[in-house]
Chain A
């Protein structure tokens, strides 16, 4: 089977940098995705890593280490609107995405 671990809650200060970690166990790994979900809203896609390294999209970056079965989402210059839940999701051979339980990020002034 597949399993993902990510912290349940993270709090960070506006303007700071925060890193949300995700470790996974799976066979036939294809890639790691990240999604954002605001309270009462639908999940929205943020990023996808298939290869080792850092992918940058504006204030958000995502990192993957396939050998360590580990990835993280990095949010820079935090804004209040970044308060949301963040989900990592892994895709493996012949299976659709499997989501982690989510990390609730609270940005405080």
Chain B
């Protein structure tokens, strides 16, 4: 099993450009999450999904959109990138209920916006 995979691993964008980050999991998990991690800030939840076709806002959703068209995939979109969105982005997945305390993370995408 590959677990949680993320594409791409690195990306440099210019201000105003758009992009989509792809997350895929092969563990049949119901829940999926997108986090951003900045130095000294820990992990902050952007959006999450509790099942195919559902999404919800996390702590820092502004400037991002998500879609969960298939159970195994969770897409994070930046419509108009800003330098403040320079960060490392992690996708995670988990089972529901008590399983939501044990999240499995992808390797991360390092995004720089210039």
Q: Determine the chain B residues whose CB is within 8 A of the CB of A28 once the complex forms.
A: none
Within 8 Å CB of A101, what residues of B? 40-42
In the complex where A42-B107, A43-B90, A98-B59 touch, is A33 in contact with B101 (Cβ < 8 A)?
Answer: yes
Number of B interface residues, CB 8 Å?
Answer: 24
B102 within 8 A of A: yes
Whether, in the assembled complex, A48 has its beta carbon less than 8 Å from a beta carbon of chain B, the answer is yes
Q: Which residue of A lies closest to B108 (CB)?
A: A42
In the docked arrangement, what's the CA distance between A84 and B31, Å? 27
> B43 contacts A43, CB within 8 Å?
yes
Contact of B42 among A30, A42, A96, A102 (CB under 8 A): A102
Known A43-B90, A87-B43; contact A97-B103, beta-carbon cutoff 8 A:
yes
Q: List A contacts of B98 (CB < 8 A).
A: 31, 48, 50
Given known A-B contacts A42-B90, A45-B104, A99 and B48 have beta carbons under 8 A apart: no
Q: Which residues of B contact A (CB under 8 A)?
A: 31, 33, 35, 40-45, 48, 58-59, 90, 92, 98, 100-108
New A-B pairs, 20, CB < 8 Å, besides A43-B90, A45-B103: A8-B40, A31-B98, A31-B101, A41-B107, A42-B106, A43-B43, A43-B103, A44-B105, A48-B101, A87-B42, A91-B100, A96-B31, A96-B45, A96-B100, A97-B100, A97-B101, A98-B59, A99-B42, A99-B44, A101-B42
